[in-house]
Amino acid sequence: MKNFVLVLFVLLVNLKGFSNNAEGKITKDIQTEAAKANETIQYHFQFKNTLKNTETFYLSVDRPRELVCENSLNTSEITLKSGELFNGTLSVLVSNRMPEGGHESSFIVIKDKEGHILQKKEFITVRTLPHPFLLVTNSVFDEAKQKIKDYDWAKQNLDKMLLELDDFEFPARKTITKPRPTKVWSSLAYRSSDGEEAFKLGLAWRLTQDKPYKQKLIEFIKEVCDNEKGYLSVGAATTGVQVHEGNFFLFLAAACDIVFNEPELTAKDRENIENTFRFYLKQNSSHMESLGIMNHQASANAGAIVVALFLQDIPELDYLTNAEGGMADQIGKGVMADGWWFEGTANYCYLVTQRYSLVAQAFENYGLDLYHRRFPVKFKSADFENLKAGFTGMKFDNWGPPGKNTRGLEDMVTPYIPMMDENAYVVSSNDSNLKEPNEFYEFAYRAYKKPELAWVINKTKRESWVSLMYGLPNLPEVKDPRTESDFMPNVGLVALRSQPENKSPENQIQAYLKYGTHGGWHGHFDRASLVALDRNGHKYFGTEMAWYGYGKAGYKESVQTSATHNMVIVDELQQEAVPSKQLLFFKGEIMQASAVETHARWREIPRFNLEKFPPWNDKDFDADFNPIQQRRLSIVTNDYVVIADYMKSDKKHNYDWLIHPVGLTHLEGVKKSGPALEQLSQNEDSPYKYFKDAQWYKANNGVKMKFDEDGNKLDIYSLWPKKGKVLVSSYPNGGKQRDVRNNPNRKTYGLRINDKEVVFLNVLVPYQGENQIKKIESKSDTELTVFMKDGKKQHIRIENFKASGFKITMEAYQDNSIIKTETAHSKSFN
């Protein structure tokens, strides 16, 4: 017999005439437990007569003939004095006719003497599924062992994992207290990744039978789950931040699943494990909120789901799926119609997709199906759980077409591919660096067999534990699925890719543009910007070209601001994040084009303030600042990129056309104006204060600049306006250089015009070796002719650019004869 003392429920009967007016209050809606076949679970409950008189109550199990398990109550009739408590027991004998992992609901019915049902109480009995059943099963281990035996890549994967684990040590368990970033709280000193390292120790033991891996894992589990000094004593294992806690507990549950029945764990240890997980679930439920849709809550939710599955707690699984802020909310609200997670950052999109892919695999191992489950689309509020929309300029709602009426994991695993480079790295946008392929692609290809997923995996070294345990051993060779231009209408990213005969990275120009959903906490203020430019495998730009860290002033005062992006800035202010439009998208043979437009106000940046939480002094728009029309047309050819910007307002503004390349070598067509400046602006409310070593110039007939970053060159021709103020400065730098981040040689070039209305016309030429352009002529701000050194030339004309309908024509000439003409019209998608 298995005797469980569970949370009590109390039936408080407050009757008038002892009829259907009875009221009941229950401290827990559903009790649940799991046991093996032929074991008996005893559910203990309690209720109280709150009437003034002695009353008789009748207890029964509802419809027992429809139950496979044998149910019995310790009594069927009780008489209680006023105020008297009754302690009842429901005994359930788990049937061997119920499948492992199956469950059945029993209901206790409480009636009055007239037969009126006063209350029903549900108890869910689970026939336990033998461990391990979460992220790995015995059959999965057998499959992995066979791969290791038969395939070199799998053997190398295991060897690498073992080598890393041999050198790995968990941090000493201790309680630390520190601010994060403005509140102070205590937690254990574990890292978010320690849960996954523990899980990999379990994999290593099962794959090699080397006991030191198991011993190290079990010691760690005992430390974390110690009843007095472990998680239960503090309530936070890592930093206490939900995204980290969710990842830690997801893998801790999977690690415990592997060794739960090992003799090194005592009955007390197993009780401590269950108590620890119950406490984590309680902590998690306090964070769940219908407005709390973001990567933190999604990660916490996924971790809690895997923990609940470890406990085989069916009601908790239902709660974590369907309650406010649960999985249905996270996916139904957070995933947009184009499949991107609304925060619009490759790293957080990947984080959420990876977490729910792990949940999907755990579900499949348990006999459930999340891979093909669909959730209804739900309206995503413009507000977040602890602040209103617009705080520091942020917007939390989804923009663009609404798409289908359901969302699912299948929507989440493929939409990043159109925005990848030739190595399957997703373009950086919002708070993200360039993102390498994630391990969830192995799960996804196994589940969906889509060839483009195999293409992504083939770009990896297949070194993750997911590859080892779940990767299909043989993958097809797949043609590059993303060599043409494309766009994603909700996240609002456009990839323009030139179409030379040989579409290799050496020849293909890839320009990425931005116009879409803001992304809440992690959104940048850069609609109508050039977020990236690639050629020859080189990355000229990224959205985090400077990085200060989330807890630093430079995060919102510089990194997220409009000024640190390749776009037109108004009055040194920050652009309003509002839904924007793509007016034109064209895929041709000699021309790729996109035009986007926004109508936005501009405001001062937020200012850092550690006395507040969140730590920012917010600003508002000036009452008389009317939205400015901002239109950007980008044209990609086989040799260069044309960018035309149209700005229009009801009054004069300073319009600064800014771009931020690395390695300035040549500046032509300007004269110095004024002294060198230590910083571009002394105004503390301007993001320009972060731009150092600045110099202003004057231009009278256009500007030409040359940049060289280790042989990756970029020439910039500013064709219109011919006259204006020119600025050159160092780009903001937040510290240590990494990839495109914090490069001390990155410069900012800007052309300033003060007017109500202006058109900027610029040409960017990315190349290695020699620039193949001989000269560029431009007689107006909507027309240019490019002369190539090989005798070819192209003529580009933009008609009615300032109007609601406009068109672009490109003519290619050989020996002064037209060999190809392409025309693109606004509001047409060819």
Calpha distance 392→607 (Å, rounded): 9
pLDDT at 827: 81
The per-residue pLDDT for range 169-227, each reduced to its tens digit, is 999 999 999 877 667 889 999 999 999 999 999 999 999 999 999 999 999 999 999 99
Query: Could you tell me if 88 and 59 are in contact, meaning their C-beta atoms sit under 8 angstroms apart?
Result: yes
CA angle 609, 611, 616 (to 5 degrees): 35
User: Using CB atoms within 10 A of its CB, is residue 151 exposed (0-12), middle (13-18) or buried (19+)?
Assistant: middle
Distance of alpha carbon 703 from alpha carbon 717, whole angstroms: 6
85 CB contacts (<8 Å, ≥6 apart)? 46, 47, 48
Domain(s) of CATH 1.50.10.100: residues in the chain: 130-286
> Does the predicted TM-score (pTM) go above 0.85?
yes
Measured CA to CA, the distance from residue 824 to residue 801 in angstroms comes to 12
Class of domain 486-825: mainly beta
Query: How many angstroms from the chain centroid is the CA of residue 56?
Result: 57
Q: Which pLDDT score is estimated for 386?
A: 83
Q: For residues 269 and 272, what is the distance between their CA atoms, to the nearest angstrom?
A: 5
Dihedral sign for Cα atoms in the order 802, 808, 810, 816: negative
The yes-or-no verdict on residue 19 having pLDDT over 80 is: no
Query: Distance of CA 313 to CAs 256, 305, 319, 323, Å?
Result: 16, 10, 10, 15
The reported pLDDT for the residue numbered 723 is 97
pLDDT digits (tens, 9 = 90+) for 59-90: 999 999 999 999 999 999 999 999 999 999 99
Residue ranges, CATH 2.70.98.70, the chain: 486-825
Q: Say if residue 418 is exposed, middle or buried (CB neighbours under 10 Å; 0-12, 13-18, 19+).
A: buried
What would the two tokens of residue 66 be? Answer: 């429809």
DSSP 536: T
Cα separation values, 371 from 335, 357, 444, Å: 15, 8, 8
Assess whether pLDDT exceeds 60 at residue 18.
Answer: no
DSSP letter for each residue of 446-497: HHH--HHHHHHHHTS---SHHHHHH--S-------TT-S-EEETTTTEEEEE
- CA–CA gap between residue 790 and residue 821 (Å, rounded): 19
CATH 2.60.40.2310 residue ranges in the chain?
2-127
Angle at 657 between CA 656 and CA 663, to 5 degrees: 115
pLDDT at 520: 96
Q: What pLDDT sits at residue 185? A: 82
CA gap 665, 715 in Å, rounded: 10
Peptide bond into 721 cis (omega under 30): yes
Fold adopted by 130-286: Glycosyltransferase (1.50.10)
CB 165 within 8 A of CB 220: no
Q: Rounded to an integer, what distance in angstroms lies between the CA atom of residue 733 and that of residue 742?
A: 5
**Amino acid at site 446:** R
The predicted model gives 77-104 an average pLDDT of: 95
> In Å, how far are 5, 123, 126, 343, 754 from 89, measured between CA atoms?
10, 12, 18, 50, 82
| 623 Cβ contact list (under 8 Å, min separation 6) | none
What whole-number distance in Å separates Cα of residue 599 and Cα of residue 577? 9
> pLDDT tier at 709 (50, 70, 90 boundaries)?
very high
**Averaged confidence pLDDT in the chain:** 93
Nearest-10 Cα torsion for 426, 432, 434, 439:
-60
pLDDT band per the 50, 70, 90 thresholds, residue 29 = low
Please tell me the predicted confidence (pLDDT) of residue 184. 80
Portion of the chain with pLDDT greater than 70, in percent: 96
Write down the pLDDT at residue 20. 28
Residue 4 has pLDDT above 90, yes or no: no
The yes-or-no verdict on residue 7 having pLDDT over 60 is no
Q: What percent of the chain has pLDDT over 90?
A: 89
- CB 633, CB 801: distance < 8 Å: yes
Q: Which fold has domain 2-127?
A: Immunoglobulin-like (2.60.40)
Mean pLDDT of 103-130: 93
Helix (H) or strand (E) holding 92: strand 85-93
Tokens for 732?
């903001």
Task: Indicate the residue type of 226.
Answer: D
Say how far apart CA 741 and CA 245 lie, in whole Å.
Answer: 28
Count, residues in the chain: 830
Six-digit token pair at 798?
Answer: 């933009």
Positive or negative torsion for Cα 234, 239, 243, 246:
negative
User: What per-residue confidence (pLDDT) applies to 324?
Assistant: 95
- Which pLDDT belongs to residue 504? 86
Element (H, E) at 584: strand 581-587
**Residue 8 banded pLDDT, cuts 50, 70, 90:** very low
pLDDT tens, residue by residue, 336-371: 999 999 999 999 999 999 999 999 999 999 999 999
**pLDDT tier at 785, thresholds 50, 70, 90:** very high
* pLDDT, tens digit (0-9, with 9 covering 90-100), for 279-324: 999 999 888 999 999 999 999 999 999 999 999 999 999 999 999 9
